[in-house]
Structure 1
């Protein structure tokens, strides 16, 4: 049997055929138009950078998930980006270091990882988003979350759900209200992530058990979280969550809270959120507040840097859903000898035309819905 392995794509990579590619273009344009309309300027970082820059700019970025290779010119290790955010941080901290703050930047493109996440086999994904550099307060979080909601709706998402989290919750509580030894903190975080009550007790985090039940619908969960915070350590964060939730409540979104959720929030600081939509498998995006590390040019070490707030959208699943449900576009067949001025006029008002190149060309076979007859588009 003849082998066609040469035509196979690697696991986790796929072609976007015309229909899905067209939907992708429309969805990405709609998302970027929303961000552009709110004053965010697009930047286009390269696909490949020095590994050190990509890995050191954000806490929690794992270089082992990146495709890496030695640059034959510099003989330094390079990597393909697995996340745009460190690149936006680099641009803000270097090329745009003198730009006025708050600095609003947006991006769109593809990211690539060595290994897929969870049940999603994709290793190449679309990522688009916005970063508000220089501020991480409630106003910034509210703007960024509202922008993410508006962008998803413009792309075609419906019944959006938002799950809030407090990524630094364990560190905040461990420092005062529920003290933990340094060696216990990571273990307690892990047990909270897996929602394992028994494991949490074994890790020395019995005081953290109530957090497992401060989850669910936002209004109920935030009251449970407030009841846990008898010492008032979380008062500012709880007030901030209430304010952000109130600001987006009129957007017709469903709000939930899981204050101890950490998966995917490795570099976020006090606030984080995950975005979902009806009919779309898995998450559509996440965001929150974070810090851009300042890298010492001599040592390469990261240190405390500039605060920021932003979000990343991963619209592939939404695009697949939209593509499957979108009606085919009208296409106008132009016979041999058609009037070019008429065809140009019709294209100017929105028609897609397909010109015959020989008498053998067939309108129906070419997926056309109309034929140009004289100066009129006549449905087949």
Structure 2
């Protein structure tokens, strides 16, 4: 193996793409800021238990672990920033019992890529709202998610909605164990109604629950799915509340292309309610995902309602607007010392100035002028 080779699913970001990513990151943070979301920057690594690796099997598999040479305890390199932000809300910002709006944009590391084409070093950006349980908070975050996705060219964006509360209400009413719920959730992902039916029948459940679980994989489509769900699912108050929330979101985005799927339950274990995602017109996977995760802060000592979304900004590569290299003003090597004050003024004004050593450089094709002393004054002479 060559010493310069990188691990699989890890890559350098070169100047042209780096400019695009940094520009997009700046636009995102500006967007979050004008919506009231304050930037936080959690550390890249923490004690692994703080990263929720002990309660979320999927997150645990993603997390790279090392032994801390100072304490001897196990450290984890973050694979998801959301638990860290929940910790910040629960501890460092605990003086505020009202709403905390927080945002972030930083790298995470995955032990394995989530897909064949995915990187192991996503640039995760997102926003979270703590302290308000009403559906209005979810609508606010969905609106912000859709605005965030619009910084790139994904064509017509599809808003996908689900609600894990429907499944959990049925599971609780049917008396399923945690192990049975997990098994059934896995089957739901394949949308195989027959496999789901055979599974619940093997548990000798009442026919009403067998029918309800077998129906879930078929409850997907447009807004009309909600009326079908009300007509065919058991009349449980928790199911009704979940469907009410989905209807409220649909009403808040009347012009948005919406897809509803009551068996789309591919979530981290900490999600508790409404689920939302954005898909591009030619995207094989979600561009951004989010949902409600009430009570996550309880693991850090303060249980709070919470909702938020995140995405990998690197997945926007190839869809971001071109960001040209800044024009360059050259100053000859022999003039650099004498012209240093003039160079400093230009740089303070935002102009890129580089010393010309006479051997070319990686901005040679974008030179706009040369700094020269003309009539006793340092001036930029256009090329």
| TM-score by shorter chain over 0.5 | yes
* Higher deviation after alignment, 17-26 or 150-159: 150-159
* Alignment match of 1:45 (pick from 42, 51, 74): 42
Counterpart of 1:130 in structure 2 is 127
Identify unmatched segments of 5+ residues in structure 1. 296-301
Aligned partner of residue 267 in structure 2, secondary structure: coil
1:247 has 2:245 as partner = no
1:231 has 2:228 as partner = no
Aligned partner of residue 101 in structure 2, secondary structure: strand
* Alignment match of 1:189 (pick from 185, 188, 191): 185
Counterpart of 2:172 in structure 1 is 175
Q: 2: CA distance between counterparts of 1:104 and 1:37? A: 11
Q: CA deviation at 1:97?
A: 1.3
Please say if residues 158 and 257 of structure 2, whose CA atoms lie closer than 8 Å, have aligned partners that are also in contact: yes
Mapping of residues 1-380 of structure 1, within 5 Å: 5-55=2-52, 59=56, 62-154=59-151, 157-176=154-173, 179-182=174-177, 184-204=180-200, 205-217=210-222, 219-229=223-233, 231=235, 233=237, 234-250=239-255, 253-280=256-283, 282-290=285-293, 291-295=295-299, 305-322=303-320, 326=322, 328-329=324-325, 331-334=327-330, 336=332, 353-361=352-360, 366-368=364-366, 370-372=368-370, 375=380, 377-378=382-383
* Higher deviation after alignment, 134-143 or 231-240: 231-240
Aligned partner of residue 195 in structure 2, secondary structure: helix
Q: 2: CA distance between counterparts of 1:49 and 1:42? A: 19
Please say if residues 55 and 61 of structure 1, whose CA atoms lie closer than 8 Å, have aligned partners that are also in contact: no
How many pairs are equivalent?
360
When the two structures are superposed, what TM-score results if normalisation uses the length of structure 1? Answer: 0.84
Q: List per-residue Cα deviations over 1:3-59 (Å, max 9, x = no partner).
A: 6x1100111111110011111101111111111111111111111100111126865
Q: CA deviation at 1:106?
A: 1.0
Please say if residues 46 and 78 of structure 2, whose CA atoms lie closer than 8 Å, have aligned partners that are also in contact: yes
Q: 2: CA distance between counterparts of 1:117 and 1:361? A: 42
Q: 2: CA distance between counterparts of 1:58 and 1:247? A: 34
Q: CA deviation at 1:282?
A: 2.8
Counterpart of 1:298 in structure 2 is none
Identify unmatched segments of 5+ residues in structure 2. 201-209, 372-378
* Root-mean-square deviation over aligned CA pairs: 2.9
Q: 1: CA distance between counterparts of 2:113 and 2:85? A: 23
Q: List per-residue Cα deviations over 1:140-174 (Å, max 9, x = no partner).
A: 10111111112222455542221111123222123
Aligned partner of residue 163 in structure 1, secondary structure: strand
Please say if residues 56 and 268 of structure 2, whose CA atoms lie closer than 8 Å, have aligned partners that are also in contact: no
Q: CA deviation at 1:288?
A: 0.9
When the two structures are superposed, what TM-score results if normalisation uses the length of structure 2? Answer: 0.83
Q: 1: CA distance between counterparts of 2:97 and 2:302? A: 20
Please say if residues 31 and 155 of structure 1, whose CA atoms lie closer than 8 Å, have aligned partners that are also in contact: no
Q: List per-residue Cα deviations over 1:77-105 (Å, max 9, x = no partner).
A: 11100000111111111111122311111
* Higher deviation after alignment, 203-212 or 71-80: 203-212
Distance 1:131 1:356, change over 3 A: same
Please say if residues 101 and 130 of structure 2, whose CA atoms lie closer than 8 Å, have aligned partners that are also in contact: yes
Please say if residues 48 and 80 of structure 1, whose CA atoms lie closer than 8 Å, have aligned partners that are also in contact: yes
Q: 2: CA distance between counterparts of 1:294 and 1:317? A: 32
Distance 1:43 1:304, change over 3 A: closer
